[in-house]
Amino acid sequence: MIKLYLTPSTRAGRVAWLLEELEMEYELEVLPFTKEGLKSPEHRSRHALGRVPVIEDGDVSIFESGAIIQYILDKYDDKGLKPDVNSSEYPYYLQWFHYCEGMVMPPMNQIVVQTVLLPPDRRDETVLNQAMNLLSKSLSPVNSFLEGKDYLIGNFSAADCMLGHSCFMANRFGTVSDEMGNIKNYVKNIESRPAFQKAIMLGTENADPLG
Ligand SMILES: N[C@@H](CCC(=O)N[C@@H](CS)C(=O)NCC(=O)O)C(=O)O
């Protein structure tokens, strides 16, 4: 059985969400977002940088949310959450799957650093504004592509577990403007999914995960 190491309100939620959508059984270990939780020798032996998500599956122990999601889809029944390689949706599925970590998360990371992680006296408004600007530019093509669609490639897919999760996070951080109406609707569609609702609450003991 897959074991998932998860910290609430992080990218680990993407993997939990996929596992919930696939109705797979898995073991969960919740690690707090603290030095003790993530930077322990034990967790560093799973991920040298002490980050999440990490999964273990038999002798396999891997990190990187995108790689984990691809691994699960390839190794287990993907239940149609990955389009066929010869379908017209597949190239766009791949594009948005990777656009998430490649283009959206770098400015998103900087926003989290500048608003939450750094102590107030070390925050830099110029860096924050640059990151907000870049995030907005990065989300703009996503907003355009979502025109007339409920999910990125029409039907729900694992690309939504990646980029949709980032859109949800960006929206919760107040960084999706009202002009990006397609992303706002997309986030509502995501939030209405029971598997998503369950995944983002894991480890929070019914607290608001971003509260
Ligand atoms: N590209 C990696 C990023 C992993 C990552 O940075 N995870 C964050 C949580 S969203 C983390 O573990 N941060 C802990 C830290 O920075 O100490 C992935 O997609 O898995």
**Confidence (pLDDT) at 183:** 98
Q: Are 43 and 5 in contact (CB under 8 A)?
A: yes
Alpha-carbon Rg for the chain, nearest whole angstrom, is 17
Structurally, how many domains does the chain consist of?
A: 2
- State the distance from the centre of ligand 1 to the C-alpha of 147, rounded, in angstroms: 30
- State the distance from the centre of ligand 1 to the C-alpha of 65, rounded, in angstroms: 9
Q: What is the DSSP letter of 121?
A: G
The average pLDDT across 165-183 equals 95
Q: Are 124 and 114 in contact (CB under 8 A)?
A: yes
Looking at the structure, do residues 12 and 67 belong to the same domain, yes or no? Answer: yes
Q: Which residue lies with its CA nearest to atom 11 of ligand 1?
A: 51
Residues in the chain: 211
Is a pLDDT exceeding 70 seen at residue 102?
Answer: yes
Would you tell me how many other CB atoms lie within 10 Å of the CB of residue 22?
A: 17
Pocket test for ligand 1, best of 51, 61, 64 (most atoms within 8 A of CB): 51
**Average pLDDT of the chain, as a whole number:** 95
Q: Which residue lies with its CA nearest to atom 18 of ligand 1?
A: 64
Measured CA to CA, the distance from residue 19 to residue 121 in angstroms comes to 40
- In this prediction, what percent of the chain has a pLDDT beyond 70? 97
Looking at the structure, do residues 69 and 142 belong to the same domain, yes or no? Answer: no
Instruction: Select the more confidently predicted residue: 211 or 163.
Output: 163
Residue 8 domain boundaries: 2-80+196-201
The average pLDDT across 46-52 equals 97
- State the distance from the centre of ligand 1 to the C-alpha of 20, rounded, in angstroms: 21
Tell me which long-range contacts 113-122 makes (C-beta under 8 A, separation of at least 24).
115/173
Is a pLDDT exceeding 50 seen at residue 211?
Answer: no
The verdict on residue 210 lying in a domain is no
Looking at the structure, do residues 23 and 100 belong to the same domain, yes or no? Answer: no
Instruction: Select the more confidently predicted residue: 141 or 208.
Output: 141
Is a pLDDT exceeding 50 seen at residue 16?
Answer: yes
Looking at the structure, do residues 42 and 126 belong to the same domain, yes or no? Answer: no
pLDDT tens readout for residues 105-127: 999 999 999 999 999 999 999 99
Residue 89: pLDDT band by 50, 70, 90 thresholds?
Answer: very high
**Confidence (pLDDT) at 205:** 73
**Confidence (pLDDT) at 26:** 98
Looking at the structure, do residues 27 and 102 belong to the same domain, yes or no? Answer: no
Tokens of 80: 């149609």
Measured CA to CA, the distance from residue 110 to residue 108 in angstroms comes to 5
